[in-house]
Amino acid sequence: MTAHINPAEAARLVEQEPAQAVMRLRDAVAADPRNAGAWRLLARALRNVGQEEDAAEADLNGVRATAFEPEMVAIAAAMLENDLPQAEARLRQRLRAQPTDVAAIRLMAELAARIGRLADAEKLLHRALELAPGFVAARANLAGILNKQHRYAEAIAELDIVAAAGGDLESRNLRAAVLGRTGDYEEAARLYGELTQAFPGHARIWMSYGHVLKTIGRQDDSIAAYRKALECQADLGEVWWSLANLKTVSFDEGDVAAMEAALAGDPPPLEEDRLHLHFALGKAYADHGEIEPSFRHYAQGNAMRSAQLGYDAGVVSAQVDSVIATLTPQFVSERQGWGDPAPDPVFILGLPRAGSTLIEQILASHSQVEGTMELPDIPAMAMREARAMGLRPQDWPDAVAAMDAGKLAALGAEFLDRTRIQRKTDKPFYIDKLPNNWAYAGFIHLILPNARIIDARRHPLDCCFSNFRQHFAKGQGFTYDLADIGRYYADYVRAMDHYDRVLPGRIHRVIHEELLDDPEAVVRAMLAYLGLPFEEACLEFHRNRRAVRTASSEQVRRPINRDGVGQWVPYEKWLGPLLQSLGDLTETYGRKAGRIVTA
């Protein structure tokens, strides 16, 4: 280590004579400030004598010192080039030799996160912080990992510590994003506002600011923020798509020219920007009635996204087969009354773009119902339980078949606990409107037998083509191919038909076209299903200024209208794969209580 002390002697002094170790190690790092090992030992010695602030500073100096070591430079280069096998091999070798090197531990956590091993990344970051509690960058990384696992309260707790230490742009940005996920939109908007003032040329901060402003209904401010982002980076495709995604905003000829110029840029935009630009141009040309270039851009954007995701339609079909085979009348009868008895949650499910946001806005205008957002918890819990039994994630029906009453009740209680952070009022009911929950409706019934479930259903061509025109921030891999969308819709109807047979009356269906035709009758029926009295505010839902996160946020701030009906018609000649997958569902999609509803 230095001429004064060798590593073994230093380690002994740190534990047995820490005061002396502090003096010797201070001399060592003064003589060689790039001696990372000496800094790490000094931090331990300082903690042993109660000098926590100095210890934290020593930790950070140790991390900084590793940046100059050739081995760490090589590891960082491999990470930068995304050569993860090489980086992992070098990191493992380094940690065998230096198991307390927190900088290397943090890099190993980053590597684990990149390949989706979030639990491993979390453990590694906890270890780094155990060794170096003042390692703020590792703590910020931990907050990011917790956020990815939807553990928002824990993420905020870590970010509080980061903020107390000063925080950097990335951690402040993450804090605002997490607040958005927990429904603290006004605070998130305040933080983003501060960040735009501190970093006025940062396009993505302006974009994030625009997202949260849209959510809380400040549309003009949202548009201004998006336009500011484009001033900073004209080819940032997600911003163009965010403007298109407001639905109520129309692009002018200058916007179309700017987007086409961005696509043709030299060098070309990144792939993510290009696909967003294609979706935005699809909307822009549609605004001008130019259907052929509109469809061409939608098709190009969808093809790019489909190639990225590699969606397999057979997985969903097999899951529905499993639901039908497992959740038989006898199976559900034997489990009657199992699960947690709480009646609080109201699930609105179906396909995206089927009118679920409108239904949520209507119900959230009732004095006894709180709207939250699309919560990820039900799919996460179902897939976790399947994996815990060594099954594929989609095999959750096999997992629940092995559960007793106590396990199902515990899962129901877990859902209530996990979603408590989303509740901002003391209203007795709250909504989870994740549309994909249709695939887990049986799971919901088993763990929360008294929860209400509403199936939002829309004409398949309106619904499916609306999905094809929509680029989703994440998930919804079925929406990027016309045949896949039709098959997904058919599987959804097949599952709902099964639940109608084995659990008659359990799921309340709302046909979107019926809601447009006779809002009061449909709203009264929904409220009767929930056991709630009718309130006029439910028909005045567009006056409700609550935050709305979905793509329909601006549409549900207007009275009921038929603007979205028949938008597929001009594109009909290109919709052959969709029509073939749907079969007769274009006529029978509204099957309800033994009758057929057609558009």
Nearest to 275 by CA among 242, 295, 305: 305
Of 561 and 264, the one with more pLDDT: 264
Q: Phi/psi of residue 555, each to 5°?
A: -65, -35
261 burial (CB, 10 Å; 0-12 / 13-18 / 19+) is exposed
Mean pLDDT across 385-403: 95
Q: Is the dihedral of CA 555, 560, 561, 562 positive or negative?
A: positive
- pLDDT reported for residue 121: 95
Instruction: Flag whether pLDDT at 1 surpasses 50.
Output: no
pLDDT band, very low/low/confident/very high, at 131 (cuts 50, 70, 90):
confident
Instruction: Flag whether pLDDT at 546 surpasses 60.
Output: no
Separation CA 321–CA 526 (nearest Å): 29
207 burial (CB, 10 Å; 0-12 / 13-18 / 19+) is buried
Which residues are within 8 A (CB) of 43 and not within 5 positions of it... i.e. 6 or more apart?
55, 56, 58, 59, 62, 132
How many CA atoms within 13 Å lie on the side-chain side of 252? 1
Instruction: Flag whether pLDDT at 13 surpasses 80.
Output: no
Total Cβ atoms within 10 A of residue 317: 15
CA dist 199 → 28, 164, 172, 194, 206 (Å): 40, 20, 12, 9, 9
- pLDDT reported for residue 250: 86
* Sole residue written with tokens 């190639």: 307
pLDDT in tens, 291-300: 999 999 999 9
Q: Give CATH for domain 7-66.
A: 1.25.40.10
Residue ranges of the domains in the chain?
Answer: 7-66, 313-459+504-561
Instruction: Flag whether pLDDT at 593 surpasses 70.
Output: no
Domains 7-66 and 313-459+504-561 share a fold: no
71 burial (CB, 10 Å; 0-12 / 13-18 / 19+) is middle
> What is the chain's alpha carbon radius of gyration, rounded to the nearest angstrom?
27
Instruction: Flag whether pLDDT at 274 surpasses 90.
Output: yes
Lowest mean pLDDT among 240-249, 261-270, 545-554: 545-554
DSSP codes, 481-532: SHHHHHHHHHHHHHHHHHHHHHSTTTEEEEEHHHHHH-HHHHHHHHHHHHT-
Instruction: Flag whether pLDDT at 80 surpasses 50.
Output: yes
Strands 429-432 and 507-511: unpaired
Question: What is the pLDDT of the chain when averaged over all its residues?
Answer: 89
Instruction: Say if residues 63 and 103 touch (Cβ distance below 8 Å).
Output: yes
Nearest to 295 by CA among 581, 567, 585: 567
124 burial (CB, 10 Å; 0-12 / 13-18 / 19+) is buried
Mean pLDDT across 448-455: 98
Mean pLDDT across 143-164: 91
- pLDDT reported for residue 544: 67
Of 202 and 25, the one with more pLDDT: 202
Instruction: Flag whether pLDDT at 160 surpasses 60.
Output: yes
pLDDT in tens, 298-344: 999 999 999 999 899 999 999 999 999 999 999 999 999 999 999 99
313-459+504-561 CATH fold:
Rossmann fold (3.40.50)
